[in-house]
Amino acid sequence: MVKVLAFSGSTRNGSFNQALVENAAEAAKAAGADVTVISLADYAMPIFNEDEESEYGMPERAQAFKQLLIDHDAFLIASPEYNSSYPALLKNAIDWASRKTGDEPMLAAYKNKVVGLMAASPGGLGGMRVLVVLRMLMQNLMSVVTPLQVSLANAGDKFDDNGKLLDETAQKQLTNLTQQLVSMAAKLNAE
Ligand SMILES: Cc1cc2nc3c(=O)[nH]c(=O)nc-3n(C[C@H](O)[C@H](O)[C@H](O)COP(=O)(O)O)c2cc1C
Q: Closest Cα to atom 9, ligand 1: which residue?
A: 81
Average pLDDT in the 168-172 region? 98
123 lines ligand 1 (CB under 6 A): yes
> Class assignment of domain 3-190?
alpha beta
Q: SS3 for 137?
A: helix
Per domain, the residue ranges of the chain are: 3-190
What's the full length of the chain, in residues?
Answer: 191
Closest of 19, 57, 17, 30 to residue 162, by C-alpha: 19
101 lines ligand 1 (CB under 6 A): no
Average pLDDT in the 83-93 region? 98
* Other Cβ atoms within 10 Å of 116 Cβ, number: 28
- Give 165's strand partners: 159
Please give the model's pTM, rounded to 2 decimal places.
0.98
Instruction: State the chain's mean pLDDT as an integer.
Output: 97
